[in-house]
Homo-oligomer: A and B are copies of this chain.
Amino acid sequence: MAKERQAQMTGMISNTDLGKAESHTQAQQARILIAAKACFVESGFHCASVANIAKTAGMSPGLIYRYFENKNAIIFAIIEQQLLESRNKIRALRAADDLGPAVLNYLDSSDGSSDESVGTSLFLEMSAEATRDSEIAEALGRYDNAMRVELADLLNRSASGGDKKPTTPVAPERVLALVCMIEGLMIRKAREPNLDRKALKSAIDIIINSLLN
């Protein structure tokens, strides 16, 4: 189909990328969010134009507004989506026997996009935006609190060697240190994409170890 081929050649998103969405509305919203994510990564929240998002999504600009009230709503949706994904990835760490490799894996895990730096780029974009928009700041704050609980649990169980009942709850400063390290690593990944993986792994191990004993 001509349209399909054109979509691929111009970097537009084809239907096959979309996965299964139950309703047409959800499918369209998903399509827009995928396009928006790509545009936001490439240009940032503010320089990405609705027109470009529409083109990337393979639809007309006007149609965007049937599915999102305005551009800001798209930004919010992207942020919520990223936070949700991030939460899920953190939760997935639970299953890990060994915390170090799990964290490394977390950093590597992309969201299905070919470019792994997507997550990091949006993370920076979101964090910067949170310093100006209180609504976004609140969303990130809620996420941060939830993450801390999750990571505390994780540290707890890792510290007790996998036993279900750790003797003492983990100290909050250890959780804080873990959060900082993870986010610091994300920044490094964004700024030095070719970072030596071995060094990365070692750095993680050093800190993880200091947090576990």
Contacts and interface: CB of A to CB of B under 8 A. Distances in A.
B199 A188 contact: no
Contacts of A130: 190-191
Contacts of A120: 131
A92 interface: no
Contact of A185 (B41, B180, B195): B180
Interface string A180-193: 11111101101110
A129 B121 CA distance: 9
A199 B183 contact: no
A163 to B, nearest CB: 22
Contacts of A192: 141, 144
Nearest to A210: B210
Contact of A171 (B176, B181, B202): B202
A44 interface: yes
Closest 3 CB pairs of A and B: A210-B210, A180-B184, A184-B184
